[in-house]
A and B are shown apart, each in its own frame.
Chain A
Amino acid sequence: MSKNVLVFNCGSSSLKYRIIAMPGEAELAGGEAQRVGPRTTEPSQIIHRSGGETRIHTVVMPDHKTAFVEVMKLLTATHLEPDMIGHRLVHGGEVFPGTVLLDSEMLGKLRSVEHLAPIHNPPAVALVHACAELYPAMPQILVFDTSFHSTIPEYANTYPLPRWLREDMGIRKYGFHGTSHRFVAEEAARFLDIPMNKLNAVSCHLGSGGASLCAIVGGKSVDNTMGYSPLQGLLMSTRSGDLDPAVVMRLLARSGGDASAVEQLLNKKSGVLGLSGSSADIRDILQSGQDDVAGLSRTTKDVYLWRLRKYLGSYLAVVGSTKAIIFTDTIGETVPDVRWAMCADMQSFGVEVDPARNNNEGVYPRDIAADESPVRVLVIQTNEELAIARQSYTVFTERVVSGGIR
């Protein structure tokens, strides 16, 4: 029996939603509430798609709860009432190692993970509370980006810091982008016609903002380049990625101990933007010629690609008998130069990309490896909302339909 899953992907000032009929995976409606929160110069609005039409509704939405109520009005008007709600949460910490069906106990525990992702978690938690209050009988499923990474082994998730820091403060690698890495890994297994638990792969989620690589063994995450927070690892749009701890301490001392100033600096004014001084979008930098006087574009491009290449090598060494390298999200899907820079001259790992296949844009999913390459190189479109719908439907059928709790 088909069930409609309403998927919410909550941003700091936006609310993306979709209704997906499961298990058929047809999208019935979707849209985005924009400029949710305090009034700005532009009006807040909902861009709503359904039945092949897109309409813009201007509505006042001072918080995510109001946005939720307005979205439900639009859905009810088109007779698309959900059977369940699936929420995306960025960080579940150690409290939520897996996907959960919400109950009152879980609802109470949610507050304790809010601070772990101070920009993303609080509005999402507020939304979960609003849904529970307004639709108490509606099953709600919480999908955490961190949960795919709960299988990272201890030797890879442990920072060599004193025990009290690791145990009392929960300082360890959590990893991020898990919903996307899991989704493209499942799609890769389907494409290669092997069971998920036989998939050994390196997944490269290269977004225009954040980016991370994930090492996957037997369908399970065994490492992720992001760490305790989404700051560690690759060079990103405005994030520095890896940095000498002594440099961080030096910046901290220089700011008179103002940690939030350094946090802003490393998260918002570093990475591609900080290095190039001109753009936060690596696509601008890759397209710009060698004409900038200081050579900053050249340096930015080289640093961005070099760090990707090194981490790819690291994870190929971790996975060992790799079946596939997966490229996904905006940069991974649409920029052949990035894939080429990462995979060229990697025959020693069993990787060889076919240049023509690499440049053959617009076909998804596709295999761009040369025929003789033992490792397949796949370009797969990510779909976090569909991933959430799938996980929600699985939990729903296991726990609700089959007579579990309710």
Chain B
Amino acid sequence: MNILSLAPAYRSIQFEYLNDTDRSGTTSGKVENFGTHSEALATIAGALSRVPADHDPDRIAIRVAFGGHLFSSVAVVDEDVLSRLHKLIPGAPLHIPALLALLEACGIRYSGVPVVLIFETAFFADLPERESTYGIDSALAESLRLRRSGYHGIFHQAASGIGAPERILSICLEPQPEVAAIMSGRPVMVTGGSTPLEGLPGQSTCGEIDPTIILALAQDLKLGTEQIDLLLTHDSGLRALGDPSATVGEVLKSNDESNRLARDVLRYRMLLAVGAAQAAMGGIDEIVFSGRFADAGTSLMPWIESKLARFPVKSAHRIASRFVTDSLLRIVSDIAGSVQLSQISNAVE
């Protein structure tokens, strides 16, 4: 089966075409600054036509960042799915309309090819209430649908697949890193929130901060919410503490003085998350690193091990480690390839 997998982001689409006969033979790339989604797909089709094993895909897999409360598993696009997506627009006013435009373009260029949607939030759909509930007015939270939903569900799911031990600490090393505790395949704790801004600091995102700071920015500096949003999502995080162009991977591996504070803050926040995860699960059997900077786990693991080795327990518990080296698009492609189209219920949660 030939699968074209797509990861649309704001004003860009990453793609990967995986040829069935030679699993290693792929064509991948990124289109940016396109006009319409039809033009973007035309560009991708153009790139695919230059490889010898050119075929139209048998299946299209699309990674979707936000599925809200309406998608708790993968979905094959049909009329019902489209109408549910329309309902999500208020919660993701940029992402969902762009996704709908992309789906329309797919329907025209690749008419009849099944499109499988893989949601980052689906893995966390049954996150326990004690973990997903914020400490605010219940009725307000309900009406605005404010709940913790996690962000890197696809990587965490890949980290906790078949054969994995019972209690997994999943550390996803992406530009916005995320730690999750996964028991028997189900998440019980995650650092990400209702958006990826909460939790660990990212390359340019602040992560967890005192809510009063945001109110002080509004009150004392008279900043509007858009200015505050830009400040916290674009000008904060690791770049505000060290080298402004360093990636999460570089910061974690760095011994450079210019990145010392950024590295120490990120590692410390990870240690807090590791301790919380151990308390959530009663222990940790395996630590799994994933994401585009998964290899930085080789620097992080010995540091975490040295911290956890200090607990005053009689028999030291050995924690295994593992690396998920697949890219996001490869994982998405594998999930889409394993889906039995006839068995998809597309059931609403």
A, B: real partners = yes
Q: Which residues of A contact B (CB under 8 A)?
A: 154-156, 158-163, 165, 169, 171, 173, 227-229, 231-232, 235-236, 239-250, 252-254, 257, 259-260, 262-263, 265-266, 269-271, 274-277, 294, 296, 299, 302-303, 305-307, 309-318, 320-322, 345-350, 374-375
* Beta-carbon contact of A314 and B207 below 8 Å: no
* Beta-carbon contact of B277 and A228 below 8 Å: no
How many contacts A-B (CB < 8 Å)? Answer: 244
Q: Is B264 an interface residue (CB 8 A)?
A: yes
Nearest residue (CB) in A for B206 is: A160
Q: Is B131 an interface residue (CB 8 A)?
A: yes
Nearest residue (CB) in B for A306 is: B130
Q: Beyond the given A263-B219, A320-B310, A349-B313, please list 19 additional residue pairs across the A-B interface where CB-CB is below 8 A.
A: A160-B206, A160-B262, A161-B213, A244-B195, A247-B134, A247-B136, A249-B228, A253-B225, A257-B218, A270-B136, A277-B138, A294-B138, A299-B130, A302-B130, A311-B276, A313-B279, A317-B278, A348-B278, A349-B278
A246 and B192 CA atoms in complex are apart in Å by 11
Interface residues in B60-81 (C-beta closer than 8 Å to A): none
Instruction: Decide yes or no: A263 and B236 within 8 Å by CB, A235-B135, A243-B136 being known contacts.
Output: no
Interface residues in B169-192 (C-beta closer than 8 Å to A): 189
Which residue in B206, B235, B278, B313 is a CB contact (below 8 Å) of A245? B206
A254 contacts across to B, CB distance below 8 A: 144
A374 and B315 CA atoms in complex are apart in Å by 12
Q: Which residues of B contact A (CB under 8 A)?
A: 128-131, 133-140, 144, 146, 148, 189, 193-195, 197-198, 201, 206-221, 224-225, 228-229, 231-232, 235-238, 240-241, 261-262, 264-265, 267-268, 271-280, 282-284, 307-308, 310-314, 317
Which residue in A154, A259, A347 is a CB contact (below 8 Å) of B313? A347
* Beta-carbon contact of A350 and B135 below 8 Å: no
* Beta-carbon contact of B276 and A314 below 8 Å: yes
A227 contacts across to B, CB distance below 8 A: 209-210, 212-213
* Beta-carbon contact of B312 and A374 below 8 Å: yes
* Minimum C-beta distance from B176 to chain A (A): 12
* Beta-carbon contact of A244 and B311 below 8 Å: no
Nearest residue (CB) in A for B274 is: A317
B129 contacts across to A, CB distance below 8 A: 299, 302-303
Which residue in A154, A156, A262 is a CB contact (below 8 Å) of B215? A262
A156 and B261 CA atoms in complex are apart in Å by 10
* Beta-carbon contact of A257 and B224 below 8 Å: yes
A159 and B212 CA atoms in complex are apart in Å by 13
* Beta-carbon contact of B311 and A350 below 8 Å: yes
Instruction: Decide yes or no: A348 and B313 within 8 Å by CB, A243-B134, A314-B272 being known contacts.
Output: yes
* Minimum C-beta distance from A80 to chain B (A): 40
A3 and B131 CA atoms in complex are apart in Å by 51
* Beta-carbon contact of B146 and A250 below 8 Å: yes
* Beta-carbon contact of B218 and A306 below 8 Å: no
Instruction: Decide yes or no: A275 and B219 within 8 Å by CB, A160-B265, A316-B275 being known contacts.
Output: no
Nearest residue (CB) in A for B262 is: A160
Could you write out 11 A-B pairs with CB less than 8 Å apart? A228-B209, A229-B212, A231-B212, A242-B135, A245-B206, A245-B211, A247-B146, A302-B133, A305-B130, A313-B275, A321-B312
A246 and B92 CA atoms in complex are apart in Å by 13
Nearest residue (CB) in B for A296 is: B138
* Beta-carbon contact of B209 and A240 below 8 Å: no
A260 and B277 CA atoms in complex are apart in Å by 35
* Beta-carbon contact of A375 and B135 below 8 Å: no
B313 contacts across to A, CB distance below 8 A: 347-350, 374
* Beta-carbon contact of A240 and B136 below 8 Å: yes
* Beta-carbon contact of B261 and A158 below 8 Å: yes
Instruction: Decide yes or no: A309 and B280 within 8 Å by CB, A302-B130, A347-B313 being known contacts.
Output: yes
A260 and B276 CA atoms in complex are apart in Å by 32
Instruction: Decide yes or no: A263 and B213 within 8 Å by CB, A159-B206, A348-B282 being known contacts.
Output: no
* Beta-carbon contact of B135 and A240 below 8 Å: yes
A270 and B214 CA atoms in complex are apart in Å by 17
B272 contacts across to A, CB distance below 8 A: 314, 317-318
Which residue in A162, A299, A314, A374 is a CB contact (below 8 Å) of B275? A314
* Minimum C-beta distance from A204 to chain B (A): 13
B265 contacts across to A, CB distance below 8 A: 155, 158, 160
Q: List 6 A-B pairs, minimum CB-CB distance, nearest first.
A: A313-B279, A317-B275, A320-B310, A244-B193, A227-B210, A229-B212
B273 contacts across to A, CB distance below 8 A: 314
B197 contacts across to A, CB distance below 8 A: 244-246
* Minimum C-beta distance from B65 to chain A (A): 14
B130 contacts across to A, CB distance below 8 A: 299, 302-303, 305-306
* Beta-carbon contact of B228 and A303 below 8 Å: no
B135 contacts across to A, CB distance below 8 A: 235-236, 239-243, 270-271, 274-275, 303, 307
Instruction: Decide yes or no: A231 and B146 within 8 Å by CB, A275-B135, A320-B310 being known contacts.
Output: no
Which residue in B136, B144, B261, B262 is a CB contact (below 8 Å) of A266? B136
* Minimum C-beta distance from A170 to chain B (A): 10
Instruction: Decide yes or no: A232 and B212 within 8 Å by CB, A306-B131, A316-B275 being known contacts.
Output: yes
A249 contacts across to B, CB distance below 8 A: 214, 225, 228-229, 232
